[in-house]
A and B are shown apart, each in its own frame.
Chain A
Amino acid sequence: MTEYAHPEVLVSTEWLAEHLEDPAVRILEVDWDPASAYGLGHLPSAALVDWKRDINDPVRRDILSRDQFVSLMERLGVTPDTTLVLYGDMRNWFAAFAFWTFRIYGHADIRLLNGGRRKWFEEDRPVTETVPDFATASYPAPEATTGLRQFLPGVRDILGRSDHGLIDVRSPAEFSGAISTPPEYQNEGAQRSGHIPGAVNIPWAQAIQEDDTFKPVDQLRELYQSRGVTPDKSIVTYCRIGERSAHTWFVLTYLLGYPRVANYDGSWSEWGNAVGVPVEKPGAEVPGSVPA
């Protein structure tokens, strides 16, 4: 089997078990719902990164600012030389989002725990409720990398272009417009359901196996290339708020080595609320049209 394009960005549960006390490694659990995950038990020496509080701007809709990133790293005792190992709840979606965000701010050595919480618990490895305390570190302000992120005008510009590919990684029901937003996520609702015209639907979970580890590279290549998502194109991934699509962004960028992949984190919660943007919804009646 061929190896992933960048195998260094993944660590196994075995590797991590041997590096729990490694001072060069900082283990971060990135949770959407810390009370249901980190708060009940986490990997020894892992610190919590609360997705809502720590990775997002608290007021406007945006990822954390450069200054907020620096503050977060310093609070976690992270320097630019620290190896960050990320894992988290919801099958590593939010860990992948944090990976993407930290990469935007240029942190060099970031790795994802292959299989995440699910595999760690499945293997009955040690878990604790103890919250570690790290000495504050100094982290110089980095420059942000812009090519990893796409915004609504940029997505609109690539519609219909054959040198670009759009992947909608939501479930088929969301892609078709049968459902828009689960009721428990009212602040992620959209006025319209459906998908961005030209997008192919490759649900994020098709990239992983039963134990949440990533599929072998040959299977991943087949999965995406058979749907026209090829490395010669500039690829944009999206979902509802950009976290599932960060997972697919990670797969395409680091496991398959695609050179130009951006995550559109505005995703459907932005596109589906925007005025005047085109929406594809198979089977939808167009007002004013005459039924056949």
Chain B
Amino acid sequence: MTENAITLGRPDFDAIAEWVQPQERVLDLGCGDGSLLQLLIESRGARGWGVEIDPQGVLAAIRNGINVIQSDLDAGLSGFEDGAFEHVVLSRTLQTVRNTQQIITEMLRVGREAVVSFPNFAYWKNRMAVLNGHMPLSEDLPYQWFNTPNVRFFTIADFDALCAEMAIVVQERMVFDEKGNRVLEEENFLGSLAVYRLARR
């Protein structure tokens, strides 16, 4: 599989790949079939482990030769040692986790840095949808309100505020529009997907 085939439609994957160095240990939370880890292993020479709760995801990851650990994110990362990983990734999943602060704290406990990506609720098209009286539907928010796995709805500005409150350092932030192009200004308005690289202070 080529790198392009894996990353198609996942600009956050490319951003994460840039941050990972050879031999670094990556833990991918909600790793699915292990596509991101496979990319990081093949293109970056990283070492990877993934956590996945869905049986089909676990099976697919094992087929892909991924070190997948079947576990529930809401149960926390208590099985993992402090500082066991260089990077702990939570890709497009933070909005589905009920205990937001706990998972971020845990990620920064077991990892030197945490990488999170999430859909920006304040993206202008989402704002338009709500102004027109409906919950938004988009490339990055693909679910109907009644079947969405998302339980937390927040914006880039909200997340910045949470990081400040939790005394977390935002080392880097990349924001993308729906097409996956980088957004460099008015990010909370023009950005559909945000990727953060976080560290402990």
Question: Is chain B found bound to chain A in the same assembly?
Answer: no
Residues of B at under 8 Å CB distance from A? none
Residues of A at under 8 Å CB distance from B? none
